Amino acid sequence: MMRLYLEGVGLLGPGLQSWVASRAVLGGEAPYSFAPAVLRAATTLPATERRRAGVPVKLALAVAEEAFSHSGREPSSTATVFTSSDGDCDNIHAINCILADKPAEMSPTRFHNSVHNSAAGYWCIAAGSRAPSTSLCAYDASFVAGLLESATQVVVNDAVVALVAYDHAYPEPMSALRPIAGAFGVALILAPCKTVHSIAMLEIDFVAGTAVETMMPDAGLEGLRVGIPAARALPLLGALAGDAERQISLSYFDDNHLTIRVMPC
């Protein structure tokens, strides 16, 4: 069992424009209403990088900035874990079209945005960070893989870690083969010790064997949970939005799962 503390949350998704604006909805105190996620400008990036940033970079930076603003932590000195099931889907689509038609016209910008750690690279520029950074991909379990990696780093290294998970939809025709219901990002600032900024204590267990996944009671939010890999975070966010102790289960690969006990501070 790993014990750690949550200090900040960032959120952006369909009908969920920020963590602060969405707490009542996630906690069941207000109705959920679907609306496309409105991306916020990556104002911390220099102008040149800001022009090059695609949807996943804007999404990842928006939630990371919100989470850090709540935590009071210094972004430049905090380790990060970025996790996404598919990376920059728009750019992958564009590269495939170029390779099929005019491969000699491939631009360096398209290439460097295609690598899976591009969001982490843009974040390091925006935050002026030289702290360690890890980028992961684990298909539909990408959020859970990122949470497990982040929690391990917190406990083993006695370090503060920012977890950033993000996904967005492919254009057609790839969307038909890999449907993702929209753009969704979440960021969590995780620390080894309780501070004045702590929101909740988390106890995380990796458990072998199947378990009943924790679902969202609202049908619209449940649709996001199953339709966007990064939105597998919603049961944890729902538990954090309440004022009572809760335990949830998140599925992982090979019939394993995480059991997470959430205790408000």
pLDDT in tens, 16-71: 999 999 999 999 999 999 999 998 777 888 887 887 888 889 999 999 999 999 99
- Residues 127-136: tens digit of each pLDDT: 999 999 999 9
pTM of the model: 0.94
**Are the C-beta atoms of 214 and 250 separated by less than 8 Å?**
yes
Task: Please tell me the distance from the alpha carbon of residue 169 to that of residue 49, in angstroms, as a whole number.
Answer: 22
Look at strands 161-167 and 133-136 and give their pairing: unpaired
Q: Which string of DSSP letters, residue by residue, matches 158-203?
A: T--EEEEEEE-PPPTTHHHHS---S-EEEEEEEESS--TT--EEEE
Q: Bigger pLDDT: 77 or 89?
A: 77
214-223, 225-234, 251-260: segment of lowest average pLDDT:
251-260
165 or 41, which is more confident:
165
Mean per-residue pLDDT, 186-214: 94
Name the helix (H) or strand (E) containing 258.
strand 256-264
Is the pLDDT score of 192 beyond 70?
yes
Write down all domains in the chain, each with its CATH number in brackets: 8-196 (3.40.47.10)
Mean pLDDT of the chain: 92
